[in-house]
Amino acid sequence: LLWVCPVQLLSDTIYKDLWNEEDEQKLGFCDWKCMMFVQSWPGSFCVFLGSRFNCTIPAFVNTWTIHGLWPNNVKNCCYCWYLFQSDLQDLESQLSLYWPSLINKTAFLFWKNEWQKHGTCAGCMETLSSPSKYFGTALKLHTFY
């Protein structure tokens, strides 16, 4: 679990391509000030779920996986901002590798749920204002952590 606060990240050189000074000024439009970058260890995640879901770890998964990028204290900000597979076309191979679904739903349904629940709330910030920007930012954070 990593707390990501855009104002703090503006001064950190490894994040310069994720946030910019305009974003700091636009945070006034957001109902959140920090985000949680959440990763899961697949084996522990499956143990935690118990028998509630059919948890399956793909053979290629041998490291931490992304579980989400969540603005703090907000959820389900916009039910009208849909995610389509074409929105993730350029990122799908990376998402499949680093952000797989470990339960009995397709990866796209998992990503769609994450977008609906958390991504639409992140969209108040220019650098996260589309599905490709939101998921791309999570993939970049995964390379650092």
Active site residues per annotation: 67, 114, 118
Return the ∠ at Cα 79 (arms to 75 and 81), rounded to 5°. Answer: 105
- Alpha helix positions (H), 1-49: 6-9, 21-26, 42-49
Q: What contacts 24, CB < 8 A, 6 or more positions away? A: 6, 7, 10
What Rg value do the Cα atoms of the chain yield, rounded? Answer: 15
Which DSSP category does 110 fall into? Answer: H
- Residue (of 80, 83, 67, 11) closest to 35 by Cα position: 67
